Amino acid sequence: MTTGHVDAATIAVGFVGLGDQGLPMATAIAEAGYPLQVWARRQASITALGNAPRTAHPDVRSLAAASDVVILYVPTDDDVLALLATDLIGAAKPGAIIVNAGTGTPRNAARAAELCAEAGLHFLDAPVSGGRIGAEARNLTTMAGGPVETFNTARPIFDTYSAHVLHLGGHGAGQTAKLLNNALLMMNQASIAEILELAVRLGIDPISLAECLKLGSGASEALTRMPTNSEVSLSGTATHLAQVELLDMELFDEAMNDAGVDAAAATARGIAGASSLVSVVALLNPLDHIRTW
C-alpha cells in the first residue's frame, strides 16, 4: 500500500473480532465503501452485519490473503500474537498493515511490530475509546502508535468509525495512551464513589446529586456515563464492566512495571474505582438497590 489519497474501493479491509464493539466498527468500514473481509467463529456474528457489504472467509488465513489492512479486535495480546504466528504471517499480502484495535501493553505492541517487520508487514497499535455506544455513533477516539507513514495510510479507515484519530508516537504509544485513559476513568470513578457516599451520610439524595453534578464543574466523562433511575436492572452489566476494568488495571500495572515507573498510587486508585462501580450503579438505580438516604 502507498500513502496519499486512495479510493476506498481499492483497499480491502479485513476485520477479526465482530463482538460488541467490533461489529459496529466493521459495519462503518463497509458502509464507507471499503471491501470488507470478515471471519468469525459463529455464523451469527457474520449475520449481525445485516446489509453491510462484506466477503466472509472460512478462516483467518484466507481473510489475510485478501486484505490490504487487517484490523484485530480480539480480547488479549496473547490472541493477537497467536493470530500473527498461526494465521497472518505467511498468509498476509506483502506490505499489508496489521492493526491491533484492542487494549494491550506497549511491550506486546513492540513485539507484534517486530514480528510483522520480520515478515515484511506493517503494524499499528490503535486501540479505541468510547464503547459500543461510541462505535454505533461512529464517534470513537482512536489512539495510534507506529510509524507516521503507516498511520497516514490507515487513518482514513479509522476515520470511518472515529470522531477523533490521534497519532501518539512509535509502536506502543497508542496502548500507553489507552491504558492511561482507562486508569483516569477508573480513578474518577473512585472519586464519584466517595462523593456519593458523603452525600448519603449527609442525607442528600445521591440520584439527584449525581444529576446535578453532571451539569456542574465537577462533571467528568465517568460521571456522565453513570446511569440513574434505569428502568431495567443494570447489576449484570455493571458486574461485567467492573471485571473488564479490573483486567485493564492489571494491564496498566504491567505496563508501568515494564517501563520502570512507580505508579502504585494510581494503580490502587484505579482498582478502587473499578471495585466501586457495582455499588455506585446500584445506589443510582432503584431497581438494583433499596435507597436508604
Query: 5 φ, ψ to 5°?
Result: -70, 125
The number of domains in the chain is 2
CB atoms within 10 A of CB 261: 10
Does 221 lie in the same domain as 260?
A: yes
Give the C-alpha separation, 242 to 274, whole Å: 5
- Euclidean distance between CA atoms 214 and 220, whole angstroms: 7
Last residue of a domain, one of 126, 148, 169: 169
What confidence score (pLDDT) does residue 41 get? 94
Specify the range with the lowest mean pLDDT, choosing from 1-10, 73-82, 119-128, 233-242.
1-10
pLDDT above 50 for 3: no
pLDDT tens-digit map of 199-245: 999 999 999 999 999 999 999 999 999 999 998 889 899 999 999 99
Active site residues: 178
Same domain, 118 and 155: yes
CATH value at residue 209: 1.10.1040.10
CB atoms within 10 A of CB 231: 7
Taking 50 as the threshold, does the pLDDT of residue 82 lie above it?
Answer: yes
Given 132, 148, 169, the domain boundary residue is 169
The answer on 24 and 155 residing in a single domain is yes
In a domain, 3, yes or no: no
Residue 90, sorted as left (phi over 0), alpha (psi -120 to 50) or beta, turns out to be left
Residue 240 structural domain: 177-288
Q: Is residue 274 assigned to a domain? A: yes
The reply to whether 90 and 52 lie within a common domain is yes
Residue type, 287: L
Condensed to tens digits (0 to 9), the pLDDT of residues 87-127 reads: 999 999 999 999 999 999 999 999 999 999 999 999 999 99
Percent of residues, the chain, with pLDDT higher than 90? 93
Domain end call among 107, 134, 169: 169
pTM assigned to the model = 0.93
